[in-house]
């Protein structure tokens, strides 16, 4: 009976219905415990997945599991943990969907479809478009299950009562922390990344030629999207904010004019997105003789510091939840039902100052470690630059595995099936590198890589010469 269904009642029982709060907590517990046990009991598979993602290999979890290189004990542990995670996840999703639909059969079917979508990730290449698309859809489903209200929930009392326009309320009572976080998640990871993925697929040759300028495309898209949608043009709501019932206003409760909203958006884009784009470019299309320069490392560190400070300020500023872009435009994020002026006494600069100092210290330490580690490279970045200049190609990096006496050289090119190019690079190495006799194996990796912001595609073909 529908009348018996209530959120957060008896969540541990078999017949109980799990509401939003418990669904979120149990999902975190299942994912966290399962991930920890995976890393502990099946480290070879976890390392294989990490290396595949890091090196942009065209492989999937199933091929790593079935490679024959994983010890039997770890294979059985991985299989058991995967099935256990699937079982508990299925039970958790079924209870939550039952709370939403009030129907047993429908909840089981829908939960089964979610389970199939999750398991399908094991068979998609880790760096492919389909993997990213299915993963994004899974995240969207999880957000819906977290925020969707059940069938029989008593109407909630409005958090903010509409009062006379001249009356003011405390800012902190109008700001919703978790709603704002998940609205950002919907906008950036789901909405904007899907658009970037479509652009990436449609214009692959163009993005290859664009190189690092692909970063600018995403930054402009981000700035325009947030600038227009958070202004009075769209009633202060992006798609994520609309889903979660929040909006952007000024202290009077009015929507921001377009010019102020664009300033707010530009500051947010520079502080919140540029560092991720630079880091992704460093792992895909930028050569090591650029990314290992001190100037580049410290430039990245500055933008990473801004990102950490941006989110750190938001986290610690519990009074108004304002951060850099809010301060610049005088904006606040409030519930959709709020139409009051906001009471905001003198803003406290301590959260912003503390977050900035803390993030600066973290970034200086990381940058110092990176710049100090460059001298320890067995093959210096300058050698990669020399190959690029002499052969008129775009060499990205060289690495040497001392335990295997194996040299790997990565070259960026649109045509990855080019044996003549690989042989030309190998011939150059043997003739110009004094330590060439140390190499038992030389891998020439031809890589077709391109990006749009922090979304990219990498295709590789490796030629091994012994």
For 441, the 3-state DSSP assignment is: strand
Cα–Cα distance for residue pair 8/40, rounded to 1 Å? 33
Q: Using one digit for the tens of pLDDT, what is the confidence trace for 184-196?
A: 888 888 788 888 8
Domains of the chain: 2-147 (no CATH), 168-373 (no CATH), 377-465 (3.30.70.2960)
* pLDDT band at 174; cut points 50, 70, 90: low
pLDDT of residue 199: 85
Q: Using one digit for the tens of pLDDT, what is the confidence trace for 420-447?
A: 999 999 888 888 877 667 778 888 999 9
Helix%, strand%, coil% for the chain, nearest 5: 60, 10, 25
- Report the phi/psi class of residue 235: left, alpha or beta, with left for phi > 0 and alpha for psi in -120 to 50: left
Q: Using one digit for the tens of pLDDT, what is the confidence trace for 48-83?
A: 777 776 666 667 888 887 777 778 788 888 888 888
**Which residue's entry shows tokens 């509409």?**
162
pLDDT of residue 88: 87
Cα–Cα distance for residue pair 409/426, rounded to 1 Å? 9
Q: Is the pLDDT of residue 265 over 90?
A: yes
pLDDT of residue 267: 92
The secondary structure element, H or E, covering residue 332 is: strand 331-335
Cα–Cα distance for residue pair 133/138, rounded to 1 Å? 9
Chain centroid to CA 238: 19
For 254, the 3-state DSSP assignment is: coil
Cα–Cα distance for residue pair 303/316, rounded to 1 Å? 20
Least confident window among 83-87, 289-293, 357-361, 364-368: 364-368
- Give φ, ψ of 336 to 5 degrees: -60, -30
């Amino acid at each position: 009976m529908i009348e018996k269904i209530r959120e957060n009642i008896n969540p541990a029982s078999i017949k109980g219905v799990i509401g939003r709060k418990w669904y979120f907590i149990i999902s975190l517990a299942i994912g966290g415990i399962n991930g920890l046990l995976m890393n502990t009991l099946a480290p070879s598979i976890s390392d294989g997945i990490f290396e595949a993602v890091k090196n942009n290999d065209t492989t999937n979890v199933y091929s790593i599991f079935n490679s024959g290189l994983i010890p039997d004990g770890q294979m059985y542990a991985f299989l058991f943990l995967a099935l256990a995670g699937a079982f508990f996840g299925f039970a958790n999703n079924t209870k939550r969907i039952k709370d939403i639909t009030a129907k047993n059969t429908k909840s089981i079917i829908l939960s089964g479809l979610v389970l199939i979508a999750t398991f399908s990730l094991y068979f998609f290449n880790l760096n492919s478009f389909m993997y990213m698309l299915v993963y994004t859809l899974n995240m969207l489903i999880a957000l819906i299950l977290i925020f969707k209200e059940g069938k029989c929930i008593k109407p909630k009392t409005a958090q903010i009562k509409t009062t006379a326009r001249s009356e003011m309320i405390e800012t902190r009572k109008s700001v919703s922390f978790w709603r704002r976080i998940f609205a950002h998640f919907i906008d950036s990871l789901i909405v904007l990344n899907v658009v970037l993925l479509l652009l990436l697929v449609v214009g692959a040759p163009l993005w290859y030629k664009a190189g690092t300028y692909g970063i600018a495309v995403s930054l402009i898209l981000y700035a325009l999207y947030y600038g227009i949608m958070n202004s009075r043009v769209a009633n202060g709501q992006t798609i994520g904010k609309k889903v979660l019932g929040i909006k952007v206003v000024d202290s009077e409760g009015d929507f921001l004019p377009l010019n102020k909203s664009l300033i707010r958006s530009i500051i947010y884009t520079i502080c919140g997105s540029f560092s991720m784009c630079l880091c992704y470019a460093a792992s895909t299309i930028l050569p090591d003789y650029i990314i290992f320069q001190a100037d580049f490392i410290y430039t990245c560190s500055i933008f990473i510091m801004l990102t950490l400070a941006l989110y750190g300020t938001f986290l610690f500023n519990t009074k108004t939840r304002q951060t850099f872009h809010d301060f610049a435009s005088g904006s606040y994020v409030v519930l959709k039902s709020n139409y009051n002026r906001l009471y905001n006494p003198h803003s406290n600069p301590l959260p912003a100052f503390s977050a900035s100092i803390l993030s600066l210290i973290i970034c200086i330490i990381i940058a110092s470690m990176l710049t100090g580690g460059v001298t320890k490279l067995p093959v210096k970045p300058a050698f990669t630059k020399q190959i690029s200049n002499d052969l008129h190609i775009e060499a990205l990096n060289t690495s040497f595995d001392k335990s295997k006496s194996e040299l790997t050289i990565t070259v960026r090119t649109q045509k990855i099936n080019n044996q003549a190019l690989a042989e030309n690079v190998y011939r150059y190495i043997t003739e110009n590198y004094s330590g060439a006799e140390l190499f038992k194996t030389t891998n020439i990796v031809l890589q077709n890589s391109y990006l749009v912001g922090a979304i990219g595609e990498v295709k590789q073909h490796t030629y091994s010469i012994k």
